Chains A and B, each alone.
Chain A
Amino acid sequence: MKVYRFFIVIFFTTVFLGQSKSAKAQYTEYEIKGAMVYTFAKFVTWPKNILNRSKVLVLGILGDDPFGQHIDRIIKNRKANGLYIEIKRGKTIKDLKGSHILFICNSEETGIESIIDEYKSKYILTIGDGIDDFCKLGGIFNIEYNDGQPVFYINLEAASKAGLIIDTRLLQLAEGFVISDAE
């Protein structure tokens, strides 16, 4: 599925958009996804008391990091919620303690339920990298590639539970809204 989607993305970017003047052609998938993560960080609001404790906004990348240096370049000297962003990379939840944003890599798809449970309702913005049923399981953002177009889904309930406010402009751009499975 993941591989299939990946190929679709490649296909469309090369065949349909490659000749167009679209900006997307200039960027790799994870450049785009990095930009999206940065955008989410910007247009999602944390409660003030949470951020007041921290000097930076911590972005944790859980699993096998697909961004490489792209994400570092994107967020360098840039602010979100008035704070500079710091990146933490780790394989375990422990490694990424203190993160405000958790980007869960595709590699973690198998144990996703426990990971989401661990983070939900804790003022942490969870972003899934094209993980199936990420939002259904209680993840807040899930970024996917839909026929070569980067799209994202939102679980508003989860965001609300996590104490985060998502900018309406971001909501407007969401490809779809997902409701958590009844537990």
Chain B
Amino acid sequence: MLNKLFKKLPIKYKLVFVILTISLLSFFVSFSIFIVYDFYSFHSKLHKEITQLGELIGNNNAVFANMRGIIAKESAQQNLYNVLPSTAHIQYGSIFDQNKEIQAYYDRNFQDSSLLNSTPDNRSKNPQTEKSDNLLDLLQLDEFDGEIGGMYSTKLEMVLDSSDFKPVYKADIQENSKRTGLFFDYIHMFFIEGHMDVFHPIVDPDDENRILATVFLRSDLSPSYERYSQYLKIVSIIFLITFAVIYLLTLFVQKSISKPISELTNVTLKIAKNNDYSYRVQEEGKDEVALLANSFNEMIAKIETQNVELVKAKDRAESLANAKAQFLSNMTHEIRTPLNGVIGMTDILLGTKLDEKQQEFLGIVKFSAKNLMVIINDVLDISKINAGKMTFEQEVLDVNHLLKTIIAGNRGEADKKGLKVTLDVSDEIPKNLLGDSVRLSQIVLNLFTNAIKFTIHGGIVIGNKLIEKTEKEALVRFYVKDSGVGIARENFDLVFSEFSQERGDTTRKFGGTGLGLSICKKLVEMQGGKMFLESQLGNGSTFSFELKFKINQEEEITSLKTPEESLHNGISQENNQKVVLLAEDNEVNQMVVEELLGQWQFNVEIAENGQEAVDMLTEKHYDLILMDVHMPELDGYGATKMIREEMSSPKKDIPIIAMTAAAMDGESDKCLAAGMNDYISKPFDKNILYEKIVRLIVNNESTKKAEN
């Protein structure tokens, strides 16, 4: 308990406690020894003094004693009053005869003048005295006796009567005639209530064993006890001074120990708080604490240099990683542009008259190119995700419609394999959810193409389900179910990890990079969703994911016709009258886009750069501009700015779709900021391009109509 308390104390109080305890202990021990010694030496001295006094009285009254008080009674009485008053502490004195009766008595408080002055010695007693004097004395005595009779005994009784104390002879004196004390021998000594009583025997000078009489003396000890209270006062003062000095000294010592320690603590806290290793402890002196401070400083210095090196290394690593990411995105971009040309031209070439062999070869070219494109896109995505640069848009989207579009656009492969593709959407899902349609499409498309890839017989079901809906949010589950090869349970985790597929031979059999599912899972999770997999080897798989969408609170202004509808409703006929201006410097891209637009029955005119596009627009009416952002002379941003700022209405309101090759973040914002209506990144899905074109043209016309 005490130990615990002591441990809790700060060093300061520990020091004070220990030093004070030791000094006080030694102080009290030495003081106690002093007091005890003083007590004994004082009593020893007192006893000696009293004994000497008793000896003197005994000696003076030896004759008296020998005569058993029969003669010289007056003399004995007188003797007590002559000897004792000079010793102030003697309160009472008496002489006991052999019969233990008082024969002479002295009381300090009773000082009769006759006893003090009329000593017998004052009377003429020297040998030279004349006889006549003697006779005169005798006469005086006679006269005196005649008046009061037994004068001697009367004087004794006078004193005895006036005194409130009558000494009693102690019976045990003879038995315990001598005792040996620690510091002195005491004879017949009694301490009673602040008195010291001494019975001193008057011994026969001729016979040691014969006690003629006993002198009793009582010493008042109260003055001596007063000195102890005096001692106590002095000691208290000394104690207080000592205490103060010790306390101050201790504080000084404590400061020299605990101050540097607390400073050390402070520096440690500062370092921890500010993460700044440049703090140092000030070293003073050369003791252990200073040594500690010194080592601490050395340690911090080492940490500091290490930290600097670590920061440098980290910066170097980061810049390397950045460079890698930059290189990757640049490379993929650079690869995608020509690849886009390959795919585009292959598509165009497939539309021409070819023999069977050529058709087959071209099909392989297209497949390979598309595969390559997927790989490149996947690599780009994964590097984006890993670099933390993936962002998600919040646009109004109709997920059911999105699923329809995806199936419509990609079922070709499934149809070829004879797989039945079923759409199973829920009507409960709101049509005004807010989300990133591109990423959602990417996920579903990926799962869909995967399903097609790994399914040989049977079919694929794509669907969704409303799990939960509040006023502001909706939780939707999407699923893609196939009757494919299935996945073993122990490989569930494997299929979602980067660059890995269920089995080593999967790539050989089915192609792919092994990045697809990993990207899907990451995209879902980055949007706060969850990915699920149910599968049995040989019994097909169901990939599903849940995403939470915010519900758009603003009312939707226009309901758009889907490209499908537009296509199937024969709007393409109207496209004959629409003229699209394509501003593009790359010839391959010019050909691809021109071909596509031609297929959709649009009239196309081409500008080689931004300036040419602006000039052409000034000359002629166009319904829409497809603007590449990177062009010589004047780039897409500059051209758009000129159109929007320098041209007059209605030309300045012409819909402009940017074609960005750089799949980098911020490009889309940049396009919109420059005044473009929409953007599409190359290589693009032709359906998406078609949808965007149609929507913008229709929108533009309807606004015009509204204005008119």
Contacts and interface: CB of A to CB of B under 8 A. Distances in A.
B355 interface: no
Main secondary structure of the interface of A (DSSP, over half): mixed
Interface in B195-254: 204-207, 210
A109 B203 CA distance: 37
Given A23-B69, A24-B70, A177 B127 contact: yes
Contacts of A172: 63, 72, 75, 120-121, 125
A176 B137 contact: yes
Interface string B127-162: 101010010011001100100011001100100000
A8 to B, nearest CB: 10
Contacts of B70: 23-24, 27, 32, 35, 150
Contacts of A170: 63
A20 B157 CA distance: 10
Interface residues of B, number: 42
Given A24-B70, A150-B71, A43 B62 contact: yes
Contacts of A171: 125
Nearest to A24: B70
Interface in B530-568: none
A33 to B, nearest CB: 10
For B66, B67, B75, the residue with the greatest tally of chain A CB atoms inside 10 Å of its CB is B66
A167 B129 contact: no
Interface stretch (A59-67, A76-84, A112-120, A122-130): A76-84
A170 B120 CA distance: 13
B97 A22 contact: no
Interface string A99-120: 0000000000000000000000
A3 interface: no
B470 interface: no
B206 A80 contact: yes
B206 A82 contact: yes
B690 to A, nearest CB: 157
B126 interface: yes
A132 interface: no
Interface string B99-113: 101010000000000
B129 A177 contact: yes
A165 interface: no
B68 A35 contact: yes
B66 A81 contact: no
Nearest to A13: B150
Contacts of B66: 35, 38-39, 42-43
A39 B67 contact: yes
B60 interface: yes
B63 A169 contact: yes
A157 B126 CA distance: 12
Contact of A179 (B62, B68, B131): B131
A178 interface: yes
B103 A79 contact: no
A146 B152 CA distance: 14
A149 B103 CA distance: 16
A24 B69 CA distance: 8
Contacts of B73: 22
Contacts of B204: 78-79
Interface in A15-33: 16-17, 20-24, 27, 32
Nearest to A18: B150
Interface in A123-178: 146-147, 149-151, 156-157, 167, 169-178
A149 B144 CA distance: 13
A146 B68 contact: no
B63 A22 contact: no
A20 B62 CA distance: 24
A9 interface: no
A171 B64 CA distance: 12
Contacts of B103: 23
Contact of A23 (B60, B97, B125, B129): B97
Contacts of B205: 42
B585 to A, nearest CB: 157
Nearest to B145: A147
B134 A177 contact: yes
Given A20-B150, A23-B97, A167-B63, A173 B142 contact: no
A36 interface: yes
Contacts of A21: 101, 153, 157
A83 B206 CA distance: 8
Contacts of A32: 70-71
B154 to A, nearest CB: 8
A157 B127 CA distance: 9
Interface string A68-81: 00000000001111
For B63, B68, B75, the residue with the greatest tally of chain A CB atoms inside 10 Å of its CB is B63
B98 to A, nearest CB: 10
B101 A173 contact: no
Nearest to A43: B63
A173 B150 contact: no
A82 B127 CA distance: 28
A17 B127 contact: no
For A39, A80, A81, A167, the residue with the greatest tally of chain B CB atoms inside 10 Å of its CB is A39
A179 B390 CA distance: 152
Nearest to A17: B150
Contacts of B141: 146-147
Contacts of B68: 23, 35
Given A156-B127, A157-B127, A179-B131, A42 B206 contact: yes
Contacts of A39: 63, 66-67
Given A23-B70, A23-B101, A178 B206 contact: no
Contacts of B121: 172
Contacts of A79: 204, 206-207
Given A80-B206, A176-B137, A169 B62 contact: yes
Contacts of B61: 169
A43 B142 CA distance: 28
A96 to B, nearest CB: 23
Contact of A81 (B59, B60, B206): B206
Given A82-B206, A156-B127, A147 B75 contact: no
Contacts of A150: 70-71
Nearest to A136: B131
A177 B603 CA distance: 182
A35 B67 contact: yes
A81 B703 CA distance: 165
Nearest to B120: A172
Interface string B77-117: 00000000000000000000101010100000000000000
Contacts of B127: 156-157, 177, 179
23 contacts: A20-B157, A21-B101, A24-B70, A35-B68, A35-B70, A36-B71, A39-B63, A39-B67, A42-B206, A43-B66, A79-B206, A79-B207, A80-B206, A146-B141, A147-B145, A149-B71, A167-B63, A169-B59, A175-B138, A176-B125, A176-B134, A177-B129, A177-B134
The 9 closest A-B pairs by CB, nearest first: A79-B206, A176-B134, A16-B149, A173-B72, A156-B127, A177-B127, A39-B66, A22-B153, A169-B63
Given A147-B142, A169-B60, A172-B63, 17 more contacts: A17-B149, A20-B153, A23-B70, A38-B66, A39-B67, A43-B63, A79-B204, A79-B206, A82-B206, A147-B145, A169-B59, A172-B72, A173-B63, A173-B72, A177-B129, A178-B134, A179-B131
